[in-house]
Amino acid sequence: RPGWPGIINAYRDRIPLPEGVEVVTLHEGGTPLVEARHLSELTGCRVLLKVEGANPTGSFKDRGMTTAMTLALANGSRAVICASTGNTSASAAAYAARAGLTCAVLVPTGKIALGKMAQAVAHGCRILQVDGNFDDCLELARKTSAEYPITLVNSVNPIRIEGQKTAAFEVCDVLGRAPDVHVLPVGNAGNITAYWKGYQEYAADGVIPALPRMFGIQAAGAAPLVRGEPVPAPETIATAIRIGSPASWGGAVAAREQSEGLFEAVSDEQILAAYKLLASREGVFVEPASAASVAGLLLTSADGRLSRGSLVVCTVTGHGLKDPDTALRGLPEVSVLPVDPGAVASALELG
Ligand code: F0G
């Protein structure tokens, strides 16, 4: 969007940053809200996709990282640290590079999608692989930042939530209201907390007349909120949400309860089916974790918990290019053709 100034400048009066700060931005936010015609037909609802893969580093994390890095810089921090399943680290690395801060990322060994690792390498952050899962990495990052002069930029840092809530503002600004239902994937639960905060602020100020119901979708092998207790060894193909002990547990539960929403779990098979459907029928290529929201949409529509006729927004949180390995799994054998139109025609069965 030409002229879009990034989320801090777009919503300056709603973001609690000190006056006159130097804003660290890559003009994140202002992402498309796309009509999903096939999903609308399947569910009998009007379904829109909030395409967060269109952010500068390819995920919604940029909304929270512009605020986190702006505040870190204003506070005189020299270095930042985060734990990550890949997107937070990619975003932190990019914004730290822009701010001139040193960035360290703690990631679970072997469980980061290829594109995300490529971003961390390209932006030149310190990548520390940990022999543990995301939950272990987060504990380590928290302890390190408590004891050493390094700022934590995970979503337990409240300024991250203040940035991420702007996605809810954008949805309302486009629709002129909140949707009836907002569906999103849940891992560490910062994002559902942030959306709910955004919707509540708009409702309190009379910008929207009513609040949406929040549907939080987790992967079946990493569904602590659905089960009601932490999962010690989370596992799912959706590595971004492979989290057993969400830091914003309370925020997610409040969003579900206050909005009369729900938590639901979807299997890896359901995630992959939604992933393929989004790419092949809607033209929207997302990473597996993002497809969890759409798998949850299909599940709750099929069993009647999502009423027909609802206005639904599904957040798809990250770009498909983040995880090329999943896209290329089961790649059909591609034959090599001679430079000959006849060969192309016969390969395409054009007769
Ligand atoms: N979708 C994607 C693509 C993510 O990267 C994440 C979280 C989520 C959904 C879940 O959001 O944690 O706010 O509930 N990724 C974090 C990371 C954990 O390190 O990149 P959440």
Query: Do 210 and 222 share a domain, yes or no?
Result: yes
Asked if residues 7 and 29 have their Cβ atoms less than 8 Å apart, the reply is yes
Nearest residue to 99 via CA among 77, 116, 121:
77
Structure tokens at 170: 């954008």
| Pair 53, 75 in one domain | no
Question: What's the DSSP call for residue 44?
Answer: T
* 166 and 251 housed in the same domain: yes
Question: Separation of 289 CA from ligand 1 center, angstroms?
Answer: 8
Give the mean model confidence (pLDDT) for residues 240-263: 98
For 284, phi and psi rounded to 5 degrees? -115, 115
Average pLDDT, the chain: 97
Q: Is the pLDDT of residue 229 over 90?
A: yes
Q: What is the mean pLDDT of residues 267-286?
A: 98
> 273: exposed, middle or buried (C-beta count within 10 Å: 0-12, 13-18, 19+)?
middle
The number of helix segments (H) and strand segments (E) in the chain equals 15, 10
Least confident of 63-72, 179-188, 222-231, 342-351: 342-351
| Tens digits of residue pLDDT in 35-70 | 999 999 999 999 999 999 999 999 999 999 999 999
Q: How far is CA 75 from the centre of its chain?
A: 27
Mean pLDDT, range 123-132, rounded to an integer? 97
Using CA positions, which residue lies closest to atom 15 of ligand 1? 240
Ligand 1, atom 6: closest residue by C-alpha: 240
Q: Are residues 198 and 321 in the same domain?
A: yes
- Measured from the CA of 155, which atom of ligand 1 is nearest? 13
Query: pLDDT value at position 282?
Result: 98
Identify residue 133 by its one-letter amino acid code: N
Encode pLDDT of 65-84 as tens digits: 999 999 999 999 999 999 99
Overall number of domains in the chain:
2
Residue 332 CA to ligand 1 center (angstroms) comes to 30
Q: Indicate whether 70 and 139 sit together in one domain.
A: yes
Which long-range CB contacts under 8 A does 4-12 form with residues at least 24 apart?
4/29, 4/30, 6/66, 7/63, 7/66, 7/67, 7/163, 7/166, 8/66, 8/67, 8/70, 8/163, 10/166, 11/166, 11/169
Residue 22: what pLDDT? 98
Ligand 1 atom closest to the Cα of residue 84 is: 19
pLDDT bracket for residue 94 (50, 70, 90): very high
What angle separates helix 249-259 from helix 190-204, to the nearest 10 degrees? Answer: 50
Instruction: Categorize the per-residue pLDDT at 334 as very low, low, confident or very high, splitting at 50, 70 and 90.
Output: confident
130, 272: one domain: no
User: What's 81's domain CATH number?
Assistant: 3.40.50.1100
Best residue among 184, 317, 323 to mutate for probing ligand 1's pocket (most ligand atoms within 8 Å of CB) is 317
Span 32-37, average pLDDT: 98
CB 33 within 8 A of CB 174: yes
**Domain-embedded: residue 342:** no
Beta bridge partners of 264: 217
Based on the fold, state whether residues 75 and 207 are members of the same structural domain.
Answer: no
Q: Which long-range contacts (CB under 8 A, 24 or more apart) does 25-28 make?
A: 25/66, 25/70, 26/56, 26/57, 26/62, 26/66, 26/94, 26/95, 26/98, 27/56, 28/55, 28/56, 28/62, 28/63, 28/65, 28/66
Q: Under a CB-based contact definition with an 8 Å cutoff, are residues 303 and 97 in contact?
A: no
Residue 242 CA, ligand 1 centroid: distance in Å: 9
- Token pair belonging to 12: 């300056």
The closest alpha carbon to 245, from 156, 120, 144, 164, belongs to 156
Could you list the residue range(s) of the whole structural domain that residue 267 is in?
7-59+160-328
Same domain assignment for residues 180 and 288: yes
Residues 201, 173 contacting (CB under 8 angstroms): no
> 240 CA distance to ligand 1 centroid (A)?
5
pLDDT band for 273, please (50, 70, 90 cuts).
very high
Q: Which atom of ligand 1 is nearest to the CA of 187?
A: 14
Query: 3-class DSSP state for residue 217?
Result: strand
pLDDT in the model for residue 333: 82
Residue 315 has pLDDT above 90, yes or no: yes
In a shared domain, residues 262 and 177: yes
Which 8-state DSSP code applies to residue 48? E
User: Is the pLDDT assigned to residue 1 strictly greater than 90?
Assistant: no
